[in-house]
Structure 1
Amino acid sequence: MTAVQVGELVADIAREAGDLAKRRRAEGVSLAATKSTLADIVTEADREVEQLIRDRIRTERPDDGFLGEETGAERGASGLTWVVDPIDGTVNYAYGIPTYSVSIAVVEGEPNPESWQGVAAAVCAPGLGELFTAARGEGACLDGVRLSVTTETPAGALLATGFGYDPATHDGDLAMVRQVMPIARDLRRMGSAAIDLAYVAAGRLDGFFERGLNPWDFAAGAILVHEAGGLVSRLELDAPRPMVIAGGPVVHAELQRLIGGAQNNM
């Protein structure tokens, strides 16, 4: 399959998974477990949506690998791996806030963000009624309309970030906000890294920074930003909570300057 064909499949699966997530939310969310802290909620819907995605992949692409938030990693024979966050923004989802998403990326190479190459991606935000898609070399789109990152920020950059669920990390996250505010027009904190990155790709945000993200949190969004003409990097890879930064070339460079640390472009 070409990157375009893979992208069409990714979009179709993301749309179906998003419909399921939205339907389950309307029916009422049943809390199933916790992740690292009590605030990091996992729902039955989270697991059900990931199972739907896995079942579709097994049917359509049985030789592909899989890296998912809920069920871990499986290597495939094709050289492609699906990197999946079934519901990114589970706290928003549990509280009934519509800023949550289904995030699906297909990458080529080792299932490691430091070495893989993006092939296709989709971020479906069913509560907002939007589907962001991208395929390698074909650009990024929102519901079929081509996207582009912002290139100028004369009034300052509109930035987004997120905080970890562990209260012990909050002081460091707030300190990082103070560190980047000299270039900021304002700051947004929406609760879904995948949507934040999709918004950077769409030019709705000028830049994004967040510590402690897992590969499934940023894999699809990074492909969207790249295909929309932006840059995404991971900083401080040896730290317990590496930093992800994204934006158009100018804002990305400014974030890199202010935050510092060894850089690995994605």
Structure 2
Amino acid sequence: NFLHGIPHWAISIGLEKRLPDGGSEAAAGLIYAPATDEMFWAEKGGGAYANDRRLRVSARRELKEALFATGIPFAAVAGARRTAFSRTLAGLMPRVAGVRRFGSAALDLAWVAAGRYDGYWELGLKPWDMAAGLLLVREAGGYATDPLGKDPRESGDVVAGTPHLHAKLREFVIEGMGIGVAERK
């Protein structure tokens, strides 16, 4: 978006802490949107904020009222992921209030944390696209996993949403990806 002069872009910084077992966990995240002068930030265990306002995910429970965001897979990750995206979108569209695609994974996740979107999914992200946003969503009371409920940093596939809509959105993504029951375990 930035390269094309579209003001929906952000600077995103995620800080991870190394764990004794060699793994890592998110410690802090910051997403700055210059066009709106909004600073979204979170610290693990300290909540999520936009500037100085505390964030909470939306309270929506029903798919028919939900507004979701997504990202369309780039040509570089085309093929199976594009097919999965198309199937997920086709299954979801008739059942929700709407789906938006603005083109910034970091801002889309920040907007889930702020309650502007009720959920978000995208396939094939890089860790730097999502590190800060995942923490924001979680600290704002939402869920952020991959389609199978695992750490999205491993697969690059993200499903984020409110406590009431996350599992429903995950099911649409799983169905779109063609993941069978045996593979879900």
Q: Where do 5+ consecutive residues of structure 2 fail to align? A: none
How big is the shift at 1:121? 0.6
Letter of the structure 1 residue corresponding to residue 127 of structure 2: P
Question: How has the CA–CA distance of structure 1 residues 242 and 120 changed in structure 2, closer, same or farther, with 3 Å as cutoff?
Answer: closer
**2:40 is the alignment partner of 1:104:** no
Distance between the aligned counterparts of 1:253 and 1:222, measured in 2? Answer: 16
Match of 1:246 in 2: 160
**Secondary structure of 1:122's match?**
strand
Question: How has the CA–CA distance of structure 1 residues 263 and 231 changed in structure 2, closer, same or farther, with 3 Å as cutoff?
Answer: farther
Q: Which has the larger radius of gyration?
A: 1
Letter of the structure 1 residue corresponding to residue 72 of structure 2: F
How big is the shift at 1:242? 4.7
Alignment of 1:147-226 (within 5 A): 147-154=55-62, 155-166=64-75, 168-169=78-79, 170-226=82-138
Aligned Cα root-mean-square deviation (Å): 2.4
Check whether the contact 2:57–2:142 (CA below 8 A) recurs between aligned residues: yes
Check whether the contact 1:132–1:141 (CA below 8 A) recurs between aligned residues: yes
Q: Among 122, 127, 131, which residue is 2:39 paired with?
A: 131
Distance between the aligned counterparts of 1:119 and 1:151, measured in 2? Answer: 26
Give the structure with the larger strand fraction: 1
**Secondary structure of 1:232's match?**
strand
Alignment of 1:1-266 (within 5 A): 92-109=1-18, 115-154=23-62, 155-166=64-75, 168-169=78-79, 170-235=82-147, 242-260=156-174
Q: Where do 5+ consecutive residues of structure 1 fail to align? A: 1-91
Check whether the contact 1:153–1:206 (CA below 8 A) recurs between aligned residues: no
Give the paired residue count: 167
> Share of identical aligned residues, percent?
39
Q: Deviations over 1:41-86 (max 9, x none)?
A: xxxxxxxxxxxxxxxxxxxxxxxxxxxxxxxxxxxxxxxxxxxxxx
Q: Deviations over 1:182-231 (max 9, x none)?
A: 54210110100000000000000000011001111111000000000000
Higher relative contact order (CA 8 A, sep 6+): 2
Check whether the contact 2:88–2:172 (CA below 8 A) recurs between aligned residues: no
Question: How has the CA–CA distance of structure 1 residues 102 and 263 changed in structure 2, closer, same or farther, with 3 Å as cutoff?
Answer: farther
Check whether the contact 1:233–1:263 (CA below 8 A) recurs between aligned residues: no
> TM-score, structure 2 length as denominator?
0.81
> TM-score, structure 1 length as denominator?
0.58
Distance between the aligned counterparts of 2:44 and 2:86, measured in 1? Answer: 35
**Secondary structure of 2:158's match?**
strand
How big is the shift at 1:149? 0.2
Letter of the structure 2 residue corresponding to residue 248 of structure 1: T
Distance between the aligned counterparts of 1:258 and 1:163, measured in 2? Answer: 16
